[in-house]
Amino acid sequence: MSADGTKIVASTSLDNNDIYISSDSGITWTNKSISEGFGITDVYISKDGGYIMVAIENGRILISDDFGDNWSTMSISRAWTFVASDSDGSIILGGETTGNKIYKV
């Protein structure tokens, strides 16, 4: 959720490829289906709401800087259970699904 609470990003389960985005504090939601073929392990939105990241269980991170209209892909060497970033995406942190490690990209 953005710092002011107006922009929210959510995923319903590991088994689908849908994320839901709201720009009105959760009153209405837009489905932004992503066709990766693998489950979503985590979603992240920056404090200002302008930057979204989605961790996929196949070792990729989807990144959007236009509130989910377009996505770029970052490949990582393992699946992450969480993803976080600074406000402009220049620092990305993640934790793997096995083990007790945190990575910085």
User: What pLDDT, in 10s, does the model give residues 54-74?
Assistant: 888 777 888 888 888 888 888
Question: Using one digit for the tens of pLDDT, what is the confidence trace for 38-48?
Answer: 778 888 888 88
Instruction: List domains and CATH numbers for the chain.
Output: 8-104 (2.40.10)
Q: Which of 27, 45, 58 is nearest to 87 (CA)?
A: 45
Strands 18-22 and 30-33: antiparallel
